[in-house]
Chain A
Amino acid sequence: MFTANATIKNPTGLHARPAAQLVALCKKFSSDLQITDASGNKFDPKSIISVLSAGIKQGSDVQVTATGADEDDAGGQIVGFINGLAE
Chain B
Amino acid sequence: MKTLKGISGSKGYASGTAVVKRDAPAVPQRYEVTDHAAEEERFRKARGVCEARFSELEERAARDIGPDEAEIFGAYRMILDDDAFFQKALSRSQSESVNIEYAIYEECRGVAAMFEGMDDPYLKERGADIENVCGEVIGCLSGAGGDFTIEANSVSDVIIVARDLTPAETVKMDKSRIRGLVTERGGTTSHTVILAKALGIPAIIGVEGLLGEVSGRERIIVDAYGGTVQIDPDEATFREFVEKSEREKKLNREYSLSAGKPAQTIDGFHIDVLVNTGDADSIKSFDAEKCDGIGLLRTEFVYMGRPDYPDEDAQYEVYGDIARRASGKEVIIRTLDIGGDKQLAYMDIPKEDNPFLGYRAIRLCLDRPEVFHTQLRAILRASAHGGVKVMFPMIVTAEELRQAKECVERAKESLRGDGLAFNENIAVGIMVETPAAALLSDQLAEEADFFSIGSNDLIQYVTVSDRMNERVQYLYDSCNLSVLRAIRMVAASATKRGIPWGICGEVASDELLLPVWVALGVTELSVAPSQAGKIKHLIGRIDKAKITAAVERLFDMRSIQDVKDSLGSLQGELSKG
Output the nearest chain B residue to A57 by Cβ-Cβ distance. B120
Q: How many residues of B contact A (CB 8 A)?
A: 18
Report A3 CB to chain B, min CB distance, Å: 21
How many inter-chain residue pairs (CB < 8 Å) link A and B? 40
The verdict on B83 contacting chain A, using a C-beta distance below 8 Å, is: yes
The answer to whether B122 and A15 touch across the interface, beta carbons within 8 angstroms, is yes
Q: Which of A48-56, A64-72, A74-82 contacts B (4 or more CB under 8 A)?
A: A48-56
A16 CA / B123 CA spacing, docked (Å): 9
If A44-B84, A47-B84, A47-B85 touch, whether A55 touches B79 (CB-CB below 8 Å) is: no
Other-chain residue from A44, A46, A52 in contact with B123 (beta carbon distance below 8 A): A52
Which chain B residues lie closer than 8 Å to A12 at the CB level? 122
Q: Does B115 contact A (CB under 8 A)?
A: yes
Main secondary structure on B side of the interface with A? helix
Per-residue A-contact encoding for B117-135, CB less than 8 Å = 1, 0 else: 0101011001000100000
* Complexed CA–CA distance, A47 and B89 (Å): 14
Residue of B nearest to A52 (CB): B126
Query: Is A55 touching B120 in the complex (CB atoms < 8 A)?
Result: yes
B123 touches A20 (CB 8 A): no
User: Given the complex, which residues of B lie within 8 Å of A53, measured CB to CB?
Assistant: 111, 114-115, 123
A13 to chain B, nearest CB (A): 9
Interfacial residues of chain A within 16-47, with CB under 8 A of chain B in the complex: 16, 20, 23-24, 27, 44, 46-47
Nearest-CB distance from B110 to chain A (Å)?
11
With A23-B78, A55-B118: A49-B123 Cβ-Cβ less than 8 Å? no
B57-93 with Cβ < 8 A to chain A = 74-75, 78-79, 81-85
B74 contacts across to A, CB distance below 8 A: 20
Is the Cβ of B122 less than 8 Å from the Cβ of A48?
A: no
CB pair A20 B130 closer than 8 Å: no
CB contacts (< 8 Å) of B123 on chain A: these are 15, 52-53, 55
By a CB distance below 8 angstroms, the chain B residues around A47 are 82-85
Nearest CB in chain A to that of B79: its residue: A48
Q: Is the CB of A20 within 8 A of B83?
A: no
Residues of chain A lying within 8 A (CB to CB) of residue B85: 47, 49-50
Min CB distance, A22 to chain B, in Å?
Answer: 11
**What's the Cα separation between A55 and B74 when bound, in Å?**
20
Query: Are A46 and B111 in contact (CB-based, < 8 A)?
Result: no
Cβ–Cβ contact A46 & B114, under 8 A: no
- In Å, the complex CA distance between A20 and B76 comes to 11
Q: Which residues of B contact A46 (CB under 8 A)?
A: 83-84
Instruction: Give the residues in chain B near A20, CB-CB below 8 Å.
Output: 74-75, 78
Which residue of A has the minimal Cβ distance to B114?
A53
User: Given that A15-B122, A16-B122, A23-B78 are contacting pairs, would A52 and B83 also be in contact in the complex, using a CB cutoff of 8 Å?
Assistant: no
Q: What CA separation (Å) do A53 and B85 show in the bound complex?
A: 12
Complex: how many Å from CA A35 to CA B393?
A: 67
| C-alpha gap A20/B71 in the complex (Å) | 11
In the assembly, what is the distance between CA of A16 and CA of B129, in Å?
Answer: 12
B78/A48 in contact, CB under 8 A: yes
Please give, as numbers and ranges, the residues of chain A lying within 8 Å of B114 by CB-CB distance: 53
Pairwise interchain contact A50-B84, C-beta atoms closer than 8 A: yes
The answer to whether A49 touches B122 (Cβ under 8 A) is no
Shortest Cβ distance from A41 into chain B, in angstroms? 13
Would you give the shortest CB distance from A23 to chain B, in whole angstroms?
A: 6
Separation of A38 and B360 alpha carbons in the complex (Å): 62
Minimum CB–CB distance for A62 against chain B, Å = 17
User: Using Cβ atoms and an 8 Å threshold, which residues of chain B touch A15?
Assistant: 122-123
Chain B proximity of A24: nearest CB distance (Å): 8
Chain B's nearest CB lies how many Å from the CB of A14? 11
Question: CA separation between A15 and B79, bound complex, in Å?
Answer: 14
Q: Is A49 within 8 A of B83, CB to CB?
A: no
Kindly provide the distance from the CB of A42 to the nearest chain B CB, expressed in whole angstroms. 12
Could you jot down 27 A-B contacts, CB within 8 Å?
Answer: A12-B122, A15-B122, A15-B123, A20-B75, A24-B78, A44-B84, A46-B84, A47-B84, A48-B78, A48-B79, A48-B81, A48-B82, A49-B79, A49-B82, A49-B84, A49-B85, A49-B111, A49-B130, A50-B82, A50-B85, A52-B115, A52-B126, A53-B111, A53-B115, A53-B123, A55-B120, A55-B123
Besides A23-B78, A55-B123, 12 other CB < 8 A contacts?
A20-B75, A27-B81, A47-B82, A47-B83, A47-B84, A48-B78, A49-B82, A49-B84, A49-B85, A49-B130, A50-B85, A53-B115
